[in-house]
Structure 1
Amino acid sequence: MSYEVTATRRRPQHFDDLIGQEFVAETLKNSIKSGKIAHAYLLSGPRGCGKTSTARILAKALNCKNGPTDNPCGECSNCKEITKGTSLDVIEIDGASNTSVENIRQIKDEVLFPPNSCRYKIYIIDEVHMLSTSAFNALLKTIEEPPPYVIFIFATTELQKVPATIKSRCQQFNFRLVPIEKVKECLKDAANELNIQAEDEALFWIARESTGSMRDAYTLFDQIVSFSGSSITYEKIKNKLGLVGIDQLNTLFELCVSKKTDEVLLSINETLQNGISIEQFISNCTSYIRSLLFIKCGIEKESLLGNKKDNYSSLIINEWNSIQLERALSIFLQLYRDIRYSISPKFELELAFSRLCWLSDYVSNVEVKKAIDAAQNLLLNHSDAKSINHISEVSHQEMRQETIDSRESTEQTEQSTETVRKTHTEINHVPQGLPTFEILSQQKETPTPFLDGGALPPDNSVQNIDNHSAEAIKQTFSNDDWSNTETPPDDVYYNKDDEDSSDYDQNSDISDNFQNLADSYESKIQQQPTILDEKVIIDDGREISVQQLKGNIYATLAIIDGFTVTALEKTENWKVNSNSLEATIKNAYDFAVLEKKKNTIQEVISKIFGKNMNFIINLKDNTNEKLDKIIEIPKQVAIICDLFKGTIL
């Protein structure tokens, strides 16, 4: 009899033989018992977990001569033919080889013919995700409404590549990886069948390397049996496959903990000379550090650690904390990526172990923050203890000084300020042992009048005007405040022809003294030629001069729109009529500004006169220039436009 590999020899033949897929087995068994058999099934999951075996068991259960039954006999002709793969009514198709739409069209033609000897005609399409889009589209109608004797069973390892239109027409079953403990038990049964003595550590290593795939476990088991003979030991596996044992890893990492870099590098060189590949060595070291991290976190499950907890070095577990183990694990994970692009993978490996030798000195950001917080708390406690004592002393001194002589308020303020400054100096006293800078200690600072620092608040002498009305402005001035004969002061001298001087500062604070603002405008107006006896009557019946009228208008507009005041100050020849105020201006640009703000000016004038007044502004035409020509822009406006990159509207 020819040799049969373990994976084929131990392939499940019944639903109860499926390892780790109890949910799938129970669901299919119950559906067969109740007669609720779907026309399409989709089995998905990782490799070697029993998808194809489940499809064959389902085919035997449906076509068994004693069935349909959840437990096929395996003795009838139909069961034997399905097991051997020679049944005419159970067709297995490799989806990776038959991807074209022509293959699917052939299936569509074949489903029209009933089964030869079985109850159902079953199509098992493995790796169905490899079919082309056209093939899937051609299969849709057949899957949705197949003949009653046709059943489709699809198997795939990449469910995400199967179109949603196919998934929606099938019952889906997701297979899971087999736990390592169950894989180890199956390997032990396989070794007993062959009369082979196997160590638990060796079988556990095989199960762990299979990563939950039964087919991979049986394949690796056959390979080890080939060179181990009748006895399988972990020592043989380690020597033949070029593995690094846990004892060797314990010794190597204990040298790293002891910071013996020279011995570590020599040990690495000796290990590589024994035929162990760098990739395998890095993989073993990574798994070892991962297990140490799990132990540090309180995990002792053997299936996760790969070995018993007692097999790991207690010295390493005690010396390295969790943060340092995480750092070591990240070093090896990055090392495995770096060796692909390095000029020498061996150099990268030696560098990684050299870093591990000072891992005990590694301090994470979290630990640094904790240390800083502890130092901060220490300094704050020291500072608070002294500040309470000194502040209480200062308070008693101030109270005593105020009782002795309350009339010397200026001297008391200076003494209090000096006391507070001294208090700050004492509160900020550096504790013993901390470094100081001589240049900072010699620096002198001006005492501050406040405990928390800051300048004295400015005096606010501006009058509060809730409403910028004519009534509020009228009360500010009187007939005695204005004079047609006084010479304006030098500091407020106004030259009307000087275009470079700033007429009004828009950036000045609105809270400036309103009275000073009016006086300033009065001084500017006095230099303009006026008729001394020209008077106008305002709403309260008082007679005021044109200069006083200008002062009221300028002061009111300065609060509302200072830019308009700048243009209005350049006007001439004011004429007050019964219902209008007329003025003349030379500059075309200022004329445009006043025309734009005409309504605002009229509102101010109307409030002062107590009736509706129109404001008429005329452009003095010296050279017959017109508005449609280019308007000359003042130098100040041009500078502002260039600065803010704007345009004039």
Structure 2
Amino acid sequence: MAYEVTATRKRPQAFEKLVGQEFVVSTIENAISSGRIAHAYLFSGPRGVGKTSSARLLAKALNCEHGPTAHPCGECVSCKEITQGYSVDVIEIDGASNTSVNDIRVIKDEVLFPPQSSRYKIYIIDEVHMLSTSAFNALLKTIEEPPEYIIFIFATTELQKVPATIRSRCQQFHFQLIPLETIKGCLREAAQEMNIKADDDALFWIAREGNGSMRDAYTLFDQVAAFSQDHITLEKIKNKLGFVGSDQIANIVLAALKNNVSTAITELNKIFSKGISVEQCVRDLTQFFRAILFIKQGITNEEMLNMRTEEIPDEVLALLSANQAEAALRSLLQLYREIRYSISPKFEAELFISRLSGLPFLVSSQELVKKLDELKKNVTEGKVTVVKEKELSIVSSNVVPAKVEKPIEQATIAVEEKQIEQATPAIEEKQKEPQESNNKRVPTLEDIKAISNMDDIESVFGLQNALDNVNTVALSEDGCLELRTDSPLPAKTIRNNSKLINELLFKLTGFEGGINSFYCEKPKEKINPTLEKIATCFRGTIIKND
């Protein structure tokens, strides 16, 4: 017997075998049992979830010699012909290749003739959304009032492309994605039928890659079974298909989070050297951080995570918060959009791994506000004591703080009276030192040059150059410091910033007087009359050569 692919061999031949679509199955079975059979059905949903199989099962149920019945026998001539696909009264049409209005006109002519040997003449149009607008319009009247022996079953993966005029004339059934555990169970059953041993993690990976499509999962299962011989393992799949394992992703992320960027980038390049694309690596990283975010938010369902919880190390979960995982996930989604136009997608991925080292220190604005609110509340309730900076002092080393008996929030440091008395002279000495070192004196030109190099001066535009132009410093009779320059602009700049200069001079010399700024023109040098006459005669200019 010729080899038959698993997707075809495992195609359900009864409604009881149709997995993951309980609502559709129960509704159709009840309608057939009660005799409420519609003249047009519209099956919509993702690929590979059982739309075409359900259409054939419905045709079999309606044309079974023992029916109409919700449980066709599968043994009569009509059931066998429909199963094998050559029943003359069940016509399957590919909407993708029969899109024109002429194809629909053929159907309009054929519906005038009753079925040859069956109870109903059934038209199954797959991918019906591919029909042209004219073809849909030609079909409207036929599906609205067809002969009593005609039934239409439409199947589509893009319901939004089907005109509303068509949808309103049909009973609509939406097929859902098949749960991951259901797909894994079907794969295990297929492996047992083929006498193939399959590890649970390998079946989980195949089911996950199916993305809710049973047909996709069966197709991938056949490919894996072809190179795995009698035992399907995740290690064989990883080596043959060349995908990034979750353990490799976890090692890269963990190394980067621990600030071991060189190891993380080295491991990343090992993945690239195996021929795995940057896009695939970014997708796997995105899946990894998505699972971390869900776990941090309390979601542990493996079907929603699309990963096994044991694939994520506890150490990684301990290093990241939900906000940090969300930030990494957002960066990866942006990275995937940008690598299309990047000069080197590989460099973009390496840059992302390098930036991961700073992820544990990322704090959102919401967290900062929350911490500030908590601090404010603790201060208000007296759980935290605020000590002014002036009240803090350095005491001698023989002062030992008392043991803390209360919680940290309410703890206070107690010092014995004798220790305070011993520490008092040391405190007084410390307080006297800055007073002696800051004796008041009149600033000099050197002091002016000194404050011109301070950071506070450099932050003010033009002030440093203005102070550098000061050539004379003197104290006036009213106690003000007079700064003299050779140009009016520096003098004006000094006057505009006199308050800042005064503060800096007070810190440096203890001077508390005001600041005045003046400028004095330099006296013009006398020119030799003979040279002046010569310059006038030749219409020239006298240039002083320094």
- Cα deviation, residue 336, structure 1: 1.2
Counterpart in the other structure of 1:266: 266
Closer/same/farther in 2, CA of residues 310 and 439 from structure 1, 3 Å limit:
farther
Listed one character per residue, the Cα deviations across residues 388-438 of structure 1 (whole Å, up to 9, x for unaligned) are xxxxxxxxxxxxxxxxxxxxxxxxxxxxxxxxxxxxxxxxxxxxxxxx999
Do structure 1's residue 136 and structure 2's residue 136 form an aligned pair? yes
CA contact (8 A) 1:210 1:217 kept: yes
Counterpart in the other structure of 2:164: 164
Counterpart in the other structure of 1:106: 106
What is the DSSP-based 3-state SS (H/G/I as helix, E as strand, rest coil) of the residue aligned with 1:178?
A: coil
What is the DSSP-based 3-state SS (H/G/I as helix, E as strand, rest coil) of the residue aligned with 2:300?
A: coil
Amino acid at match of 1:238: K
Do structure 1's residue 232 and structure 2's residue 232 form an aligned pair? yes
Counterpart in the other structure of 2:312: 312
What is the DSSP-based 3-state SS (H/G/I as helix, E as strand, rest coil) of the residue aligned with 2:283?
A: helix
Listed one character per residue, the Cα deviations across residues 468-526 of structure 1 (whole Å, up to 9, x for unaligned) are xxxxxxxxxxxxxxxxxxxxxxxxxxxxxxxxxxxxxxxxxxxxxxxxxxxxxxxxxxx
Do structure 1's residue 369 and structure 2's residue 369 form an aligned pair? yes
- Structure scoring higher RCO (CA < 8 A, sep ≥ 6) equals 2
- Cα deviation, residue 385, structure 1: 11
User: Which structure would you say has the larger Rg?
Assistant: 1
Counterpart in the other structure of 1:176: 176
What is the DSSP-based 3-state SS (H/G/I as helix, E as strand, rest coil) of the residue aligned with 1:88?
A: coil
What is the DSSP-based 3-state SS (H/G/I as helix, E as strand, rest coil) of the residue aligned with 2:41?
A: strand
CA contact (8 A) 2:252 2:265 kept: no
- Cα deviation, residue 309, structure 1: 2.5
Amino acid at match of 2:243: L
CA contact (8 A) 1:46 1:177 kept: yes
Counterpart in the other structure of 2:79: 79
CA distance in 2, matches of 1:357, 1:244: 21
> TM-score, normalised to structure 1's length?
0.58
Closer/same/farther in 2, CA of residues 441 and 298 from structure 1, 3 Å limit:
farther
Counterpart in the other structure of 1:205: 205
Instruction: Please show how residues 517-528 of structure 1 align to structure 2 within 5 Å.
Output: none
Closer/same/farther in 2, CA of residues 440 and 324 from structure 1, 3 Å limit:
farther
CA distance in 1, matches of 2:386, 2:271: 61
Instruction: Please show how residues 208-287 of structure 1 align to structure 2 within 5 Å.
Output: 208-287=208-287
- Cα deviation, residue 250, structure 1: 2.1
What is the DSSP-based 3-state SS (H/G/I as helix, E as strand, rest coil) of the residue aligned with 2:93?
A: strand
CA contact (8 A) 2:187 2:203 kept: yes
- Cα deviation, residue 283, structure 1: 1.3
CA distance in 1, matches of 2:154, 2:380: 71
Amino acid at match of 1:314: D
CA distance in 2, matches of 1:332, 1:321: 17
- Cα deviation, residue 378, structure 1: 8.1
CA contact (8 A) 2:39 2:150 kept: yes
- Cα deviation, residue 30, structure 1: 1.0
CA contact (8 A) 1:198 1:233 kept: yes
Counterpart in the other structure of 1:50: 50
CA distance in 1, matches of 2:299, 2:380: 41
Listed one character per residue, the Cα deviations across residues 251-294 of structure 1 (whole Å, up to 9, x for unaligned) are 21111121111221122112211222212211111111111112
CA distance in 2, matches of 1:264, 1:385: 44
Instruction: Please show how residues 368-517 of structure 1 align to structure 2 within 5 Å.
Output: 368-373=368-373
What is the DSSP-based 3-state SS (H/G/I as helix, E as strand, rest coil) of the residue aligned with 2:42?
A: strand
Closer/same/farther in 2, CA of residues 374 and 24 from structure 1, 3 Å limit:
closer
Q: How many residues align?
A: 393
CA distance in 2, matches of 1:134, 1:118: 31
CA contact (8 A) 2:251 2:264 kept: no
CA RMSD of aligned residues (A): 2.4
Counterpart in the other structure of 2:26: 26
- Cα deviation, residue 241, structure 1: 1.4
Amino acid at match of 1:212: G
Counterpart in the other structure of 1:147: 147
Counterpart in the other structure of 1:492: none
What is the DSSP-based 3-state SS (H/G/I as helix, E as strand, rest coil) of the residue aligned with 1:66?
A: coil
Counterpart in the other structure of 1:35: 35
CA contact (8 A) 2:379 2:386 kept: no
CA distance in 2, matches of 1:441, 1:176: 76
CA distance in 2, matches of 1:305, 1:62: 41
- Cα deviation, residue 306, structure 1: 3.8
Counterpart in the other structure of 1:15: 15
Do structure 1's residue 62 and structure 2's residue 62 form an aligned pair? yes
CA distance in 2, matches of 1:213, 1:308: 19
Amino acid at match of 1:252: I
CA distance in 2, matches of 1:311, 1:12: 34
- Cα deviation, residue 373, structure 1: 4.5
CA contact (8 A) 2:55 2:153 kept: yes
CA distance in 1, matches of 2:192, 2:499: 85
- Cα deviation, residue 191, structure 1: 0.4
What is the DSSP-based 3-state SS (H/G/I as helix, E as strand, rest coil) of the residue aligned with 2:4?
A: coil
Listed one character per residue, the Cα deviations across residues 133-188 of structure 1 (whole Å, up to 9, x for unaligned) are 11111111111111111111111111111111111111111110000000000000
- Cα deviation, residue 31, structure 1: 1.0
Listed one character per residue, the Cα deviations across residues 183-211 of structure 1 (whole Å, up to 9, x for unaligned) are 00000000011000000100000111111
CA contact (8 A) 1:242 1:277 kept: no
Listed one character per residue, the Cα deviations across residues 18-75 of structure 1 (whole Å, up to 9, x for unaligned) are 1111111111111111111111111111100101000101111111111111111111
CA distance in 2, matches of 1:252, 1:187: 31
Amino acid at match of 1:85: G
CA distance in 2, matches of 1:265, 1:16: 51
Amino acid at match of 1:27: T
CA contact (8 A) 1:96 1:130 kept: yes
CA contact (8 A) 2:47 2:213 kept: yes
Amino acid at match of 1:342: S
Amino acid at match of 1:214: M
Q: Percent identity?
A: 60
Amino acid at match of 1:40: A
Counterpart in the other structure of 1:358: 358
CA contact (8 A) 1:93 1:126 kept: yes
CA contact (8 A) 1:205 1:306 kept: no
Amino acid at match of 2:338: D
What is the DSSP-based 3-state SS (H/G/I as helix, E as strand, rest coil) of the residue aligned with 1:141?
A: helix
- Cα deviation, residue 368, structure 1: 3.1
Amino acid at match of 1:110: E
Amino acid at match of 1:286: T
CA distance in 2, matches of 1:363, 1:149: 68
CA contact (8 A) 1:206 1:217 kept: yes
What is the DSSP-based 3-state SS (H/G/I as helix, E as strand, rest coil) of the residue aligned with 1:155?
A: strand
Amino acid at match of 1:282: V
Closer/same/farther in 2, CA of residues 72 and 374 from structure 1, 3 Å limit:
closer
Closer/same/farther in 2, CA of residues 365 and 66 from structure 1, 3 Å limit:
same
What is the DSSP-based 3-state SS (H/G/I as helix, E as strand, rest coil) of the residue aligned with 2:48?
A: coil
> TM-score, normalised to structure 2's length?
0.69
Gaps of at least 5 residues in structure 1 are: 387-435, 444-649
